[in-house]
Homo-oligomer: A and B are copies of this chain.
Amino acid sequence: MPETIKDVVPQIAVGRLPLYLRALRRIQQQGCDVIASHELGKHLGIGSAQIRKDLSYFGGFGKQGTGYSVAILIEQLSAVLAVDQTWSVAVIGAGNIGTAISKYEGFTQRGFHICWVFDSHPDVIGTRMGDIVVQSTEVLERTLCRHKIQIVMIAVPAGEAQQIADRVIACGVCAILNYAPIHLHVPDYVKVQYIDPIVHLQSMTYYL
C-alpha cells in the first residue's frame, strides 16, 4: 500500500483496527468461522456501519449479507496492521513499570518481542529480566542502530523521557509507546502512543 493511501485513513479508524483484530481472534477461538458486521459490532460496542466504513478504506473484506470470513479478515487486518510479522522492541527503563513490561508475556504472544532492556542505574545494569540482561543506556544508540529497531517503549521517569525520545528518534526509531507521564515532542513522522493509567482513572472519577 503506497504511503499516500495509508495517510488517507483517519487515525481514529486505524486505532479501531486492532480492536477488531483482537475481537476476531477471540471469536475464532470460540469456533466461529463467519461473522456479520452487526455481530462483530456487538462484541465491540461499536456500530456495524462504523465497522463497515472502517474496513471499506482497505477495499472491504466482505459482501453485503454474507458476513465476513473470520480467518480471512484476521489475515487481512494483520497484513494491514503489519502484525503478520514479529517486531523486535527495546524497553528503556528497568524500574517498576519497565520490569513489568519486560516480564509481560502478552507482548511476545501477539508479535512484539522484547529483545533489549536499557537502564542508566549501575545497580540495575547487568541484572536479568527473564532472558534479557539489562544494558546501560550508554550503549543505547549503538544497539538501536545496529539492529535497526523501529519500536521502543519508554518507561523512564517523566524528567528523562524527552531526552530518551530524542536519542532513540535520532537512531531511526519511529514508534514510541510512552509509559512516562509526560507529553513527548517528536517530529511528525514519529508515532507516539501513551499509557498512563492515572489519566484513565481521573477521567472516570469526574463522573463519580
Restricting to A188-208, which residues have a CB under 8 Å from any CB of B?
191, 193-208
User: With A22-B199, A198-B112, A199-B19 in contact, do A204 and B177 touch (Cβ < 8 Å)?
Assistant: yes
Say whether A6 faces chain B, with CB atoms less than 8 Å apart: yes
Contact partner, A193, options B150, B181, B201, Cβ 8 Å: B201
Q: How large is the interface on A (under 10, 10 to 19, 20 to 34, 35 or more residues)?
A: 35 or more
Say whether A142 faces chain B, with CB atoms less than 8 Å apart: no
- Distance in Å: Cβ of A25 to nearest Cβ of chain B: 9
- Distance in Å: Cβ of A96 to nearest Cβ of chain B: 6
Contact partner, A151, options B43, B112, B158, B205, Cβ 8 Å: B205
B-contact bits for A84-102, CB 8 A (1 contact / 0 none): 0001010000001101110
- B-side contacts of A195, CB under 8 Å: 195, 197, 200
User: With A81-B206, A82-B205 in contact, do A104 and B96 touch (Cβ < 8 Å)?
Assistant: yes
A interface, CB within 8 angstroms of B:
6, 11, 14-15, 17-19, 21-23, 26, 43-45, 80-83, 87, 89, 96-97, 99-101, 103-107, 110, 112, 150-151, 153, 158, 174-175, 177, 181-183, 185, 191, 193-208
The 10 closest A-B pairs by CB, nearest first: A100-B100, A193-B200, A18-B202, A175-B204, A18-B199, A191-B204, A82-B205, A15-B203, A110-B198, A81-B202
Supply 11 A–B pairs (Cβ within 8 Å), ascending by A.
A17-B206, A43-B183, A44-B183, A81-B202, A81-B206, A82-B206, A106-B181, A151-B204, A151-B208, A177-B204, A191-B204
